[in-house]
Structure 1
């Protein structure tokens, strides 16, 4: 079954990959480079610098953008978005499994946003359901055409397998409950025939 719908939802509040305009609105913007390095790229045991950096990030208006940038680019050092590198590890470890539908919707609206493996797979599946061509999807994701063709072929197999068995369980349930096996109704005739045939063949062999 295929559905083609119109997406009239508002544009997600996500920045493109090349959009760094949020830098100038950060609380750390204009800070002396030596002081910024000491606070945000501190030594491992400099807890005082960590605390001061987090106080600076607490009131930053672009703290979320800073965090998203660090996670999307897998930055594994320094304080970004008010979190240290160790505190960002859970997000970095599960980055490929992240499924943010705001990013999926933004991608369909032409925004150049970072997509995880799960989000890109969702985009491919929805594009196939919408009847998009591989060339259009490749242009949308700025990806290799042959690679997109392979992904859309895999998506087609997955969706066809899903549609092939869609509703079979409901159809079986609609027909009523299946009768339970009763020992009195089970016929063991074929079992006897097989047994007699086996005995006869063994007798001939003897």
Structure 2
């Protein structure tokens, strides 16, 4: 996740969070939208925009929306374009179990590929029908069945590999024929030879 705020991920296409945004102009609270598009050297405008963002109850949602939509212009979620740039570059690696669980519960939210893969694995283990998985992730039932086959194969291969490793670590027992063999005769020590007559 990109922020420390606890939030429920927004559904795809949901813009209702705009109604709660601190930057939304109303008759009693006028906000100039240009304040969120300062030049890099306009420090007063940047501070003013960030101060407004700091009071915003949907700041984390705004930031997520900017990242998920590839919106690189202006101040979003309390961050400048330059501050968001590393987050934009790392977004594909985002992994959040809360988002995975939301999709499994039927919510339509933006997921990274790693999160989509986790949905498939969790659905497989929960024995979610392929038809339901297809609906959750918006692809065909045939594709869902293929993904389930791949998971079954991976689980089977992992079990075979673990068995091989376990067998490799065990010592082979001695064969009974070797254990019954008489020990080699001991060579007498020099003192036991006696003396020649």
TM-score (norm 1): 0.69
**How far apart are 1:24 and its partner, in Å?**
1.3
The correspondence of residues 1-206 of structure 1 with structure 2, limited to 5 A, is 13-30=8-25, 32=30, 35-36=32-33, 38-166=34-162, 168-170=164-166, 173=169, 175=170
SS at match of 1:87: helix
Distance 1:144 1:46, change over 3 A: farther
Structure 1 distance, partners of 2:94, 2:126, is 23
Residue number in structure 2 paired with 1:190:
none
The size of the alignment, in residue pairs, is 163
Superposed CA RMSD in Å reads 2.4
Structure 1 distance, partners of 2:11, 2:24, is 20
Could you say which structure has the larger radius of gyration? 2
Q: Which runs of 5+ in 1 are unaligned?
A: 1-11, 178-206
**How far apart are 1:168 and its partner, in Å?**
4.8
Greater relative contact order, per chain length (Cα 8 Å cut-off, separation 6+): 1
SS at match of 2:162: coil
